[in-house]
Amino acid sequence: MDKLRIGMIGVGGRGQLWKYWHKSEEGRSIVVAGADPSDVARSQFQFENPAAFTTVDYRDIIDRSDVDAIAICSPDNFHEEQALAVLAAGKHLFLEKPMAITTAGCDRILNEWQRSQVRMMIGFNMRYMNMFRTMKEIVDSGVIGEIKAVWVRHFVGRGGDFYFHDWHANRKNTTSLLLQKGSHDIDMIHWITGEYTNRVASFGSLDYFGGMRPNELTCDECDLANICTEAQPNSPRRQCSFREEVDVEDNQMVIMQLNGGIQASYMQCHFTPDYHRNYTFIGTEGRMENFEPEMKIVVKTRKSGTMRELADREYMIKPASGTHDGADPVICNDFVEMVLDGKEPIATPMAGRMSVAVGCASAESLRNGGMPVDIL
């Protein structure tokens, strides 16, 4: 095989990744099919890729003989069913995070993947961002010594727009935003430290969103839209963010115990005015911290009486072209190289499973008064 023929399950939202895979005649991949229940998303995809097959039902794509691999970019609660169907059909799989919305669902996917012997990777695009690749390289260099503490603060500016105006705001669709949003950060803690979490305790609540407004209310129809700070009547995500059915927490924190004696904390809030991920890694020889708005990483080293003290420095991260700080075109290329060349994926299926396991265990803990939960 010298050209990978890809089918998309979901062509709106994250499904826009198809544009990086569609290399037509000159490249090593081409998108030949797309499935989406949305008439708008499907029509736009057909307009931009007129030669592709389009359908409402994802099963129509899985059954096609001209599809070698499938990318699942659908809402979270469909990932398990669709991934199992793709793997059972023997198609290579790109699976957006989170892998599933339960740990048991992840395990079912892992079992089917191992049985199928096809190639599979998880869409952890933060592993491909210049900021976090640089942080990984710094830690791996040993300049801050052996990691013992990790602190992560995630200020989710526009949290209402991203998560509380649509399906994300209901537990039956996401389990918790510690999976949908937090799976990236949990994975970064695992990837940069090189260790998985074995125990968590968590606290959280629904402090701002949700309420008593009707579930069917949209911003277009609301009599308070002209004074509501969360109103967005012209957006495809326009369900009232203060509706009754909202039941995922918008403010939460997790204490994590990792293998290797590492302690970590993760804090996530969805009603902050700005967007920023702040990571601090503290080792036996120093500390590393990022400042995302400034695209900067700072390294401080402990006094040692050696030349190690000269390692204090600041790294200015160069911008990259492409969506998600340039990560999306790189992860799409890695998927093609994984299938065609046998390259090992940076974002492995087990990494996908472990980020979900931590998110699910953390949701269980915070909904049971902070009770510690072991990660199995």
Structural domains of the chain in order of their starting residue, each with its CATH number: 4-125+329-343 (3.40.50.720), 127-325+353-374 (3.30.360.10)
- Tell me the average pLDDT across 248-276: 97
Please give the pLDDT value at position 155: 96
Residue 335, H or E segment: helix 327-341
The answer to whether residue 364 scores a pLDDT higher than 80 is: yes
What is residue 270's three-state secondary structure? coil
Q: What is the pTM of this model?
A: 0.94
> DSSP letters along 77-140, please?
GGHHHHHHHHHHTT-EEEEPSSS-SSHHHHHHHHHHHHHHT--EEE--GGGGSHHHHHHHHHHH
pLDDT tens figures, 149-202:
999 999 998 888 899 999 999 999 999 999 999 999 999 999 999 999 999 999
Starting at the edge strand that comes first in sequence, how are the strands of the sheet with 29-35 ordered? 53-55, 29-35, 4-9, 69-72, 92-95, 120-122
Give 298's strand partners.
Answer: 289, 314
> DSSP letters along 201-257, please?
EEEEE--SS--SB-TT-BTTT-TTTTT-TT--TTSS--B-TTBTT--S-SEEEEEEE
Distance of CA 224 to the CA centre of its chain: 33
pLDDT tens figures, 291-307:
999 999 999 998 877 77
The answer to whether residue 315 scores a pLDDT higher than 70 is: yes
Please give the pLDDT value at position 235: 82
Please give the pLDDT value at position 25: 61
What is residue 320's three-state secondary structure? coil
Which residue would you say has higher pLDDT here, 59 or 236? 59
Type of residue numbered 299: V
Mean pLDDT of the chain: 95
- Tell me the average pLDDT across 224-249: 92
Please give the pLDDT value at position 307: 72
Distance CA 187, CA 156 (A): 17
pLDDT tens figures, 120-140:
999 999 999 999 999 999 999
Contact 305, 285 (CB under 8 A): no
Contact 63, 89 (CB under 8 A): yes
The closest alpha carbon to 91, from 67, 122, 107, belongs to 67
Please give the pLDDT value at position 341: 95
| C-alpha count within 13 angstroms, C-beta hemisphere, residue 316 | 1
**Residue 160 corresponds to which tokens in the numbers above?**
């209402």
Type of residue numbered 114: Q
Least confident piece of the model among 160-169, 308-317, 353-362: 308-317
The closest alpha carbon to 136, from 189, 76, 82, 185, belongs to 189
